[in-house]
Every structure is written in C-alpha cells, then in structure tokens.
Amino acid sequence: MYSHFIQFVVPRIGQGLIAVVLYLNFLTLPFVQPLMGTPWAFFGLPLLLLAALGWLARDPLGAGLAAVAQLCGIYAAGDVLMLAAFLLGGPVYHLCGLVWQGGLLAWEVTALLLLWGWRKAVRLRTTRYALTTQKPLPGGRLRVVQISDLHPGRGAMDRRRIPELYERVAQLEPDMLVLTGDIFDEFTVREDFDAFCALFGRWQTPGGKWFVVGNHDLFHYWHQPSYTRADLEEKFATAGVEILEDRAAFVTLTGRGHTPVRVVGRKDWLDTGGKRMAPAELQPGGSDGVFTLWLDHEPRELRDDAAAGADLIFSGHTHGGQIWPAGLVANLFRYNEVNYGCKRVTEACTAVVSGGTGTWGYKLRTAGRTEIVCVDITGKM
C-alpha cells in the first residue's frame, strides 16, 4: 500500500508550496496594491485570504485542496506568461497586463474550470470499442461491459444514480460484466455498499459477472470502512459476482454453443507490493486457442500478460488522470503503463483502461471521462 509519506507528508508539502505561490501572487491583486503605503494591511490582507483558502483546503484529500491547487496552477502558468511578456516588453507586456488583471483572471478561470470539472465528473458516458480476434468466440462474438472505480459516496457516483447506471448497462445487453476494482472504498457508507451490491445482482449476463479487487476495496487507507471482506464476499456471492484473485475460470455462454472463454483475475499490485503470482504462473501453457480476458485493477505488466496468453486486458485505477496534471505526472514517471483508453500491447493483445465509472474523493474531473466501457469482439464461430 501507499506509505505514510505518500499518504500524508507529500500532500502537506504540496499545500506548503501552493501557499507560497498564492501568497506572492495575492500581493499583486488590484485591491491589494493600493495598500502598499500601509504595510500591515498590504501584507495582512493577502494573509487573511490565504488563511481562508487554507481552511477550504484543510483536507489533504478533499475537493477544497483540488480547487486551490487548480488556482495555484493557473497562477503559476500566468506568472510564466507574464515573465515572457515582460522580456518581450512594449505593447505585448501591456496587453498581457490588461488581460491578466493583476491576477483576477486566475480566479475567473478557476471558477469556470471548477464548473466544467463538476459537469465532466457527473456526466456518465458509454465508451465503445470494437475488436477482432482470430480465436473462436461463442457464436462468433462477445460483448463485455466494464465497470471500474465506482468509489460511491464522496465522488460522482452514489446510490441515487443507481437507476441511471442500471438502465445504461441493461440497454447494452452484455454477455459478460467485469468489475475491475475500487468498486467501493473507505468513504463508502453502508447504505451505498448494500445498494450497489443489490444492483449487481439485478444484471443478468450469460457469461457471468467477474470482480478483481482494487487498492481501495479492502486495503483501506484513511478511514475505517463500513464493511468487511466477509461482507463483500457474502454480498457478491448473493449477487452472483465471482471474485478472482490470482486464478482463472472458464466460461461458456448459455445458448451459444460450447466454445469457452477464459477469465483471469489478478491480485492487486499495491496490496501485494508486486509479489503476486507472475502472469506465466497464472497461465503456464501460454497462448492457446481459448480467447482470454485478463482483469487487473492497475495497468501493469501488460507485456508479460500478453506473453502469458492474454488477448484482452481490462484495467482501471488511473481515472484517466481525473485532475490535471496527475495523469501527465504519472506518464512522465511511468507509474502506469497506460493512462487511459484502448491500446495495442502486441499484435494479438489489447489493453483497455477505463477512466472510471465514478470519481475518487470529490465530484471534480478535469481529465479523462466518467464512463461505462463496452467492448464488442468479433471472432470465429
């Protein structure tokens, strides 16, 4: 799991850096500049404003910090542009100064960005991909619907949206439903937990419903959860959801002949510290004539999965970045092999990484999309 340093110290360091950037910029605000002749007011008013924002951002994992971080990012970008304009001099600097409004533009853009981010977070989309395979499929086709990273409670998804989610998935008529982790987390209240487990039982899929554990489902960080592993296992068994942890299962679809599909589910990488079964151990015979789905919460070891025989890999975890520039930073440091979308791993294997059917922590998204993923695969009869 994440270390104490990453969970708590890094956010606090970030808050400190944000405070420095904001305070220096607040000194240039149009209503602060006239106070230069009164030092206590000139230096004190920005301090009061910073204190108010600090109270708003007091939760290192809350929406307030995300909003203040966006303001800081816009201020930093504006500072760079104003410095470039200053070096160019003349009318360019004058024009940029008028547009920048002493930093008021940063507040205006942040407000618009938050409204747009809220709308982007709560708007549930259906993302569809079409793939082909040379392997046989039941009836020559297979439709798999993926739900990932619901995080019901504080984010964009809660039990009030269950009717919408139910209808969207039911209309797709999936052959198989895959739940690729972080379906719940430590902020999920018991009412949401029970309601979503009941929802999973309502969907009827001839190829079954399959779940792999994410880093939040059972391995909690910040709060005591409202449910136990035993609760999860019991509720999922009642709902007909099969939990796969480092094991494989074979599926045949009722009414579609005897052509099997293999489903492989991996343990969570963060929980095991990477010390889980290797892909080659999960499918020791390598690629064969059976079309194979691999479910792994985090998009890691994709080429090893492909080498072991995976034809289609489903992952989540990344949220498509959710709050820019998180996805960019993750890509730069290669934390995840794929941040979002449908990517070819090898000639015979494709990976699909969901942006999440919900959002984590708050109803805000400035990167990726909130989505249900539907993949149609065409193969041999």
Q: Is the peptide bond before 260 cis (omega within 30 degrees of 0)?
A: no
Point out the least confidently predicted range of 85-89, 164-168, 270-274: 270-274
Are the beta carbons of 337 and 299 closer than 8 angstroms? yes
Give me the residue label for tokens 């719940």. Answer: 184
Query: What is the pLDDT, as a whole number, of residue 275?
Result: 86
Beta strands in 30-96 (DSSP E): none
- Summarize the confidence of residues 17-32 as an average pLDDT: 90
Give the burial string for 203-226 (b: 16+ CB within 10 Å, else e): bebebbbbbbbbbbbbbeeeeebb
Question: Tokens in use for 307?
Answer: 């080498």
Query: What is the pLDDT, as a whole number, of residue 257?
Result: 85
Is 70 exceeded by the pLDDT of residue 56? yes
Average pLDDT, rounded, for the chain: 91
Is 90 exceeded by the pLDDT of residue 280? yes
Are the beta carbons of 264 and 292 closer than 8 angstroms? yes
- The amino acid at residue 320 is G
Domain boundaries, the chain: 4-120, 124-380
The predicted-structure confidence for 103-137, as pLDDT tens digits, reads as follows 999 999 999 999 999 999 999 999 999 999 999 99
CA pair distance 113, 111, nearest whole angstrom: 5
Is 70 exceeded by the pLDDT of residue 5? no
Question: Predicted confidence band at 78 (pLDDT cuts at 50, 70, 90)?
Answer: very high
Q: Which residue has the higher pLDDT, 16 or 246?
A: 246
Query: What is the pLDDT, as a whole number, of residue 334?
Result: 64
Give the burial string for 314-334 (b: 16+ CB within 10 Å, else e): bbbbbbbbbbbebbeeebeee
Are the beta carbons of 174 and 143 closer than 8 angstroms? yes
Query: What is the pLDDT, as a whole number, of residue 177?
Result: 98
Question: Predicted confidence band at 163 (pLDDT cuts at 50, 70, 90)?
Answer: very high
Question: Predicted confidence band at 2 (pLDDT cuts at 50, 70, 90)?
Answer: low
- As a CATH number, domain 124-380 is 3.60.21.10
The predicted-structure confidence for 321-353, as pLDDT tens digits, reads as follows 888 777 666 666 667 788 899 999 999 999 999
The dihedral formed by the CA atoms of 186, 188, 189 and 195, expressed in degrees to the nearest 10: -140
Query: What is the pLDDT, as a whole number, of residue 358?
Result: 96
Query: What is the pLDDT, as a whole number, of residue 3?
Result: 60
- Summarize the confidence of residues 92-106 as an average pLDDT: 92
CA pair distance 346, 71, nearest whole angstrom: 41
